[in-house]
Amino acid sequence: MPRITPERWQTLKCIFTLAGFAEWRSSGSHHIGSKPGAPRPIVIPAYKDVDPLIIRGLIRTAGITREQYFEFRQRCR
């Protein structure tokens, strides 16, 4: 399994859109997406490189697996 590396916020937004998150809105330098059935919205900071710790938290909140994350990431590149 590959390591989770820093990603641009645009790539993360694409990944989580493929995971079913919609209704994107932005509040300052953060992009917020929601999905029916998700425990809470995900918040992606608009950083050039988002830290892997933040990405792992987003994956956990979104309820997707690491395998799904890497599959979606491949489709967003």
Among 54, 63, 67, smallest CA distance to 12 is for 54
CB 76, CB 11: distance < 8 Å: yes
Residue 5 scores a pLDDT above 90: yes
Q: How far is 70 from 36, CA to CA, in rounded Å?
A: 22
Which one is the CATH code of 9-76: 3.20.20.70, 3.30.390.30, 3.30.920.30, 3.40.50.300?
Answer: 3.30.920.30
pLDDT digits (tens, 9 = 90+) for 6-57: 999 999 999 999 999 997 899 889 999 999 988 999 999 999 999 999 999 9
The string of pLDDT tens digits covering residues 52-62 is 999 999 999 99
